[in-house]
Chains A and B, each alone.
Chain A
């Protein structure tokens, strides 16, 4: 896969279709894949990496990148294409300046799970036939995919690319029985006291590092209300339980109907707070109350909070 992507990127750079490539490179650790922009063939050959640790959704970077001079190539996994489309619908990215290559994805690995299995010195990973082959400094080892796959990928909602200029690998289908709302349902089945305890347990760990907000493709405001001293609700660090709740409720509300459920918020949370469960609650409710809606799927469809029907349920 990496070879094919790199080859194609080099071709497109060489024939002048694009002047830059947005992809991934190795971060501090070989499993810590970081988004990166490559401007030359050399940079690309040196730094470009693609493997099954490349979970990062690159679409948000295009807000800035697509406004720069020249066209940029971006690699998007199926779930990333939804974010891309959503950003497009919100006029946040300039389509003409972007060349999208859709890449197939069968689920990215969660390095924490691998570490928990006792793997050390991890240097790479690729999937084949439902198994990850994990390369480590001590040799390679295979692991059943579902044992090491990130939670969000286990509940993958779609393997279909909703937008692309070309594809590498196969296009899949929307996964209708992804069961992504199971945990939301479990929470709903609890008593309010249990739910309160659950969320206090989770949100009280929040250190307001803003990683969730910074990675979120929907949280792309020029200035966040929580950073704006004139908004009346600015708070830099949550000082108590109320502010923790406030930040996460309002954040979820601001992305409601725009969140594509890409799961980046939970992936990057250093405290492992399952933030996606807040977004999924809104998604589940909107589906139940106002009919199925998947943000990013169809840019022409009206979002649930941008429309109404006379017979909507009461609040």
Chain B
């Protein structure tokens, strides 16, 4: 039997003005288990807390009920006071007599009655309270960043600057991501390479950062503070430690038929290659799909010309294992495949390109050395048509497109249109738009400049069909404001294709037990208040893997994400919320119902031996909850048919006791 103390706060007249506090304290003093009951002017004050502490000592109280303001205000205060007297914090319950009683009711009699009932409910609960201990777990002071685009680089740099070790895992041979492929960046039009490559070098040179390029995440185990990751270092067939990046092998390689993915396939590269001049790490990679030596054992030229002796045709994939305290997903995006939009002629008409392809066609380091030439005949286009929202903003059931706005297309299309008009004033540029969406600092001004200063023709309407018409493209479109159907003979059509999360995101999300939405974007712990954290503790989100973003937004989110990671790594030990779920192994069926509804992946199963009848042992699969990962929502407790799963601090019996007390 608990020895319960009841403390009714007047809150000045806030409570006492409507509730007869003395009557409440008196009524509750007769409840079973209550050994002390009193009222006081301000329980939260220093002297109020003192009163409580004395009562705990004097009456050897094992449980406390405070009738006061909302627990959201002062629960922590009273818990601390109880703890100071050696009573477990979780033996304190609050009856909310202010927000839920005195402030909303006027009739003293009724308010007093309600206050007594709420007091009884709190007493009923305290009877079933058990002391709870917040657990602690150690923290490995190292972070893993998955993805080496601008998001991953920025997050890694910020974490490293705070003094913690960071590993970047990047699946391509170089870090840099999509930004490395861009020509200029909006709204300032500075060159992407000029601002990105110094950061890539910083990352490479930082003593706290290790870059595992051409590597992929293989498996992850563990929980916040204590992750164990396996990383597959794919065979480059080039010894990274020996290669100097001189590039002689790439020049001498006789097999020059591999499509150059960095240039969106507009030109070819060798079977041994360095993606681009500023690649980090700047080492060669052999593409096993094309290398003659690897395919049929004949060639070996690169090995002969390599002065450093870095070529190693026998290299194998290597799996390394590392421990981390926090993991950052920065897996980025890709444009969707525009081939599904056959009506725009992509894939059948060579002069229909995507915006990312156009970036390469305009980039000084691209296949045309920065001169805008159309792919079909390398001629300069005189009429260029941009189509916005290709695959964005589609209805949920659309099989070809995405339901969301890709967010960056309006701005980069304005940029493209502007750059073309600036470099080639003899070009007519049309942009077909549904809406022009330019929220962002200096964004709308930028778009207006494209229209007003550069004379880009913005037309409200959509393109319906693009067909090849001799050397030109016939573009059939609507001009909704003029009520016309337009037929434009264009030389180049550029599709602003929707962006989607990288294909690897889904499997990485599964490994991390980080939840994802139906579009494969990572879900944030709270859409407003915790936007850079995954609901799974210790997993953080950086960049477009969480949702479409432009570069400035990506960089700010990357830094915010770093701050959250530093917050974890800076601690030596993590305190866990003790109000977590726990499973009674004797009752658990191991049916996995709870696991399915857990947003945190906190539940795992093990086969355990149990004593059966007649001295037999039975092996049963039972659930166990990792208290460091569980956040205490309780979804599992209802999913569990056997009642094995319960939530500490809000147990089935506690809640039913409150129900009973209220309905009495």
Contact = CB atoms under 8 A, between A and B. Distances in A.
Chains A and B in contact, CB within 8 Å: yes
Interface stretch (B11-19, B171-179, B558-566, B585-593): B585-593
B589 A221 contact: yes
Given A91-B605, A92-B589, A220-B589, A232 B656 contact: yes
A89 B653 CA distance: 30
Interface of A: 67, 89-92, 220-225, 228, 230-233, 254-255, 258, 302-303, 305-307, 309-311
A311 B395 CA distance: 13
A91 B587 contact: no
Given A90-B589, A222-B587, A223-B642, 16 more contacts: A90-B590, A90-B591, A91-B592, A91-B605, A91-B621, A92-B589, A221-B587, A221-B589, A221-B641, A222-B586, A222-B642, A230-B653, A232-B656, A254-B641, A303-B593, A306-B593
B307 to A, nearest CB: 54
B656 to A, nearest CB: 5
Contacts of A220: 589
Contacts of A307: 596
B596 A306 contact: yes
Nearest to A256: B641
Nearest to B655: A232
Q: Which 6 A-B pairs have the closest CB atoms?
A: A306-B596, A90-B591, A221-B642, A254-B641, A225-B643, A232-B653
A306 to B, nearest CB: 3
Chain A CB within 10 A, most for which of B518, B587, B641, B642: B641
A232 B652 contact: yes
B587 A223 contact: yes
Contact of B597 (A90, A254, A306): A306
A225 B656 CA distance: 14
A231 B643 contact: yes
A206 B27 CA distance: 42
Contacts of B191: none
Contacts of A225: 641-643
Contacts of A258: 593, 641
B222 to A, nearest CB: 23
B618 interface: yes
Contact of A67 (B589, B619, B644, B653): B619
Interface string B623-663: 00000000000000001011110000000110010000000
Contacts, number: 62
A255 B592 CA distance: 14
B574 to A, nearest CB: 29
Given A67-B619, A221-B587, A302 B641 contact: no
B243 to A, nearest CB: 45
B621 to A, nearest CB: 5
Contacts of A232: 652-653, 656
Given A225-B643, A306-B639, A92 B591 contact: yes
Interface in B159-184: none
Contacts of B620: 222
A230 B618 CA distance: 23
Nearest to B651: A232
Interface string B387-421: 00000000010000000000000000000000000
B114 to A, nearest CB: 25
A259 to B, nearest CB: 11
A86 to B, nearest CB: 10
Contacts of B652: 231-232
Contacts of B593: 90, 258, 303, 305-306
A228 B652 CA distance: 13
Contacts of A91: 590-592, 605, 621
A273 to B, nearest CB: 21
Interface in B577-600: 586-593, 596-597
Given A91-B605, A221-B587, A222-B586, A228 B592 contact: no
30 contacts: A67-B618, A90-B589, A90-B590, A90-B591, A91-B621, A92-B590, A220-B589, A221-B589, A221-B641, A221-B642, A222-B642, A222-B644, A223-B586, A223-B642, A225-B642, A225-B643, A228-B587, A230-B653, A231-B643, A232-B652, A232-B653, A232-B656, A254-B641, A255-B641, A303-B596, A305-B593, A305-B639, A306-B596, A306-B639, A307-B596
Of listed B586, B588, B592, residue having the most chain A CB within 10 A: B592
Contacts of A311: 396
A154 B639 CA distance: 33
A90 B592 contact: yes
A187 B476 CA distance: 57
